[in-house]
A and B are shown apart, each in its own frame.
Chain A
Amino acid sequence: MSNRKPLSRRSALKGAAATVALGVPLGALGFPAITRAQAEAIKIGHLTPRTGFLGPLGEYAVMAADLAAEEINAKGGVLGRKLELIKEDSVNPQTASVKAERLIERDKVACIVGEISSASCLTIAQVAQRTKNLYVNTGGNSDALRGSNCNKYMFHVESQNSMYVKTVGRSLLANNLVKGKKWYSLTADYAFGHDLLRVAKRFMETNGGQFAADELVPTDVADFSAFLLKIRATKPDLVVSNLAGNQITNFLKQYSEFGLDFPVAGFGFDTAVAWGAGKGNFFGLWPLVWHHLIDTPGSKAFVAAFTRKYGKPPENQAWGDYIALQIIAKSMSDIKSPEALKLIDHWEKGAKFDLLKTREGYFRAYDHQLMHEMYAVEALKASELKNQWDIYKPGPPVPGPSEPLEAIAATPEENACTMAA
């Protein structure tokens, strides 16, 4: 996957011979690799699940990371050095931790970027903390990562669950789907889902709604028919999805198969799962961290470059990994150093970044969450579709232009974070 050239015995010998020929004592230089170090590339470790139920999203992450590295290198790299990605499939939390350690100890990466599973984010963050390296989370949503598990060495480009809930929540309040209404909620039965459910429930209860039912769905469930029969009998005011990955595709396909017409909203979403549902199988209101229809010059250029390279538009996960690398490259150039501790310091001081959106963003110092605009999108009807990609009506950025970006993030009271020094 990476293009590293291992130091062969022949080149080692050549190097040694050259050093001898120049009359330099071998012992003073150690290995010839060190003499090359100045010109060596800045390495960044990229870890994300490429197989399993998050694999579909991981593929977008990898494509976007490659594109970002290509663009950065085309503009001369970082600090005059080439940016080199070392990419690995993170598989699961245990493997993610082992690979993170190897990237840091053996490959000496400047930092680690990536991930989608909140559980794997946690194990990578622990390695980053222990080795005093930097980890930039591009896809793990759980609030706990920014709260009880927060850590000086982890930053979050991906939004936290609270931001997702509050983004869609505003539209739900505007459509009068919360106060006095009954929600039927389906939640993915693992760390991410539980965290999202907790945040969604807090939002619903604060705003006067209640659960008609609240179901936990094992991640390997492909058939939703038994739930759909219950939903039809319960007649809820709103069906809420806290599902993840392929679960959402299965849910969308079968909800439409059973012809149910209760309004649907989700608190977690990735465009790829809806692109994969099929014509006429997408409906409801969903939150996104970024989407390919955002009307800014930056987003348009990114969509054009990605589509040119891969033949299809990028989805939200692609933006996460693309923008994380752009932020890192820009920051390294700004502070003239690839050192993790200096980057952390720079970001904690509130450095601002272009995020391809209407406003610039920054990392909030107290929990390292990127403060930026989000979007609630509403599915288009099958008859309104012009092509297979533009499947929703883009809404305005949330929060609006007159509000602070922090308006949708969890408050310190909702999600307390204390970082050990």
Chain B
Amino acid sequence: MSTTLFLQQVLNGLLDGVYYLLIALGLSLIFSLGGIVNLAHGAFYAIGAYLTVVLANHIGFGGALIASPIAVAFIGILLERFLFRRFYREDPILSLLLTFGLALVAEQILRMVFGAPPLSFAIPQALRGQVFIGDFIYSFYRTILLAIAVLCVAGLWFLLQRTAFGRVVRAGVQNPDMVGALGISLEPYMAAVAALGIGLAGLAGVLLAPIYSIHPAMGQEIITPAFVVVVIGGLGSFWGVVVAALLVGLAKGMMVAAGYAQFSTAAIYGLMLLVLLFRPRGLFGERILRFE
């Protein structure tokens, strides 16, 4: 393998990880703060993609890029308000059942409304083509995708680490009772976190709609690797999830690059096994009292 190809594969693997990151960050946030294992998270990714196809006909891809994640986030708020909220203090197994059921319902609704065959959708003409940097050739659309994803992740980091909002959320993750004792209600924060996390999944759906098959079960394809990312990264850690997502993308990409494509899916589970053997809380997992 030439050095250029090797470097391209490394970068491509990292980029693949960024898609998982958009899904995994939301999963991690919602679990850390509310203790909800959101198996329906993949469904919001699918809804984001379907909304893109519908909206792009009227307001163009650019409009859909903004409107779809907002619409999906709004569904997230409703979900949090009417369903998740009842499960924060319950055994996580109950919310697991709830979200598993929601995922099935969402998938079947998409199938009933849009049919089972994939929906036709392509990259907008203006975003097609390749970028040439020396020996590097790469899809122009994916560089745009990367830029948007990085911007969102950076924005989320800023929000969580550098603002008053973020401080309350982080305190809520560690010790919700103490936050309550200080006279701060976590309820509006939970709604905001659900909106953010689920909105990010919707955004991933928009960004990937032009290059992935848009079909009702597309959420299932992405939810499992996203969970692996959360587990490897460790709960409560922003950077843990970021590093884990990149590692998972890299592990997959490198298996293909090395000619062992058939093991590329298995590789990410192997990675998870290794990490859990040595660091049962994940790479940068924090000790969270209520989950111990």
Contacts and interface: CB of A to CB of B under 8 A. Distances in A.
Contacts of B259: 213, 215
Interface-centre pick from B16, B19, B213 (highest chain A CB count, 10 A): B213
Contacts of B128: 257
B216 A226 contact: no
A233 interface: yes
Interface stretch (B158-166, B231-239, B261-269): B261-269
Contacts of B264: 218, 221, 226
A50 B111 CA distance: 10
Interface string B228-269: 000000000000000000000000110011010110110000
Interface stretch (A101-109, A164-172, A273-281, A332-340): A273-281
Nearest to A253: B211
A81 B224 CA distance: 49
A60 to B, nearest CB: 7
Interface string B1-45: 110010011001101100100000000000000000000000000
A229 B8 contact: yes
A216 interface: yes
Interface in A29-84: 50-53, 55-60
B63 interface: no
A53 B220 CA distance: 10
Contact of B117 (A275, A280, A281, A388): A275
Interface string B128-159: 11100000010101100000000000000000
A77 to B, nearest CB: 29
A233 B5 contact: yes
B217 A52 contact: yes
B65 interface: no
Interface in A220-277: 220-223, 225-227, 229-230, 232-233, 246, 249-250, 253-254, 256-259, 272-273, 275-277
A348 interface: no
A406 interface: no
Given A218-B262, A226-B12, A259-B130, A388 B120 contact: yes
B118 interface: yes
Query: Chain B: interface residue count, which band?
Result: 35 or more
A51 B103 CA distance: 13
A275 B122 CA distance: 11
A217 interface: yes
A55 B221 contact: no
Given A259-B129, A276-B120, A254 B211 contact: yes
Given A55-B111, A189-B262, A253-B211, A225 B16 contact: yes
A220 B213 CA distance: 12
Contacts of A225: 12, 15-16, 139, 142, 253
Given A226-B13, A258-B130, A58 B262 contact: no
A70 to B, nearest CB: 19
Contacts of B107: 51
B109 to A, nearest CB: 13
Nearest to B13: A226
B118 A56 contact: yes
Contacts of B218: 222
A313 B15 CA distance: 38
Contact of B213 (A59, A227, A250): A250
B120 A277 contact: yes
A276 B117 contact: yes
Contacts of B115: 56, 59
A59 B217 CA distance: 14
Given A55-B216, A216-B261, A257 B118 contact: no
Interface string B202-229: 0000000011111111100110100000
A278 B210 CA distance: 8
Given A227-B256, A230-B9, 19 more contacts: A55-B111, A55-B215, A215-B259, A216-B262, A221-B264, A222-B218, A225-B15, A226-B9, A226-B13, A226-B16, A249-B213, A250-B212, A253-B211, A253-B213, A256-B122, A259-B130, A272-B118, A273-B118, A277-B120
Interface of B: 1-2, 5, 8-9, 12-13, 15-16, 19, 107, 111, 115-123, 128-130, 137, 139, 141-142, 210-218, 221-222, 224, 252-253, 256-257, 259, 261-262, 264-265
19 contacts: A51-B111, A55-B116, A215-B256, A215-B261, A218-B264, A225-B16, A225-B142, A226-B257, A229-B8, A229-B12, A246-B215, A249-B118, A257-B139, A257-B142, A257-B210, A257-B211, A259-B130, A275-B117, A281-B122
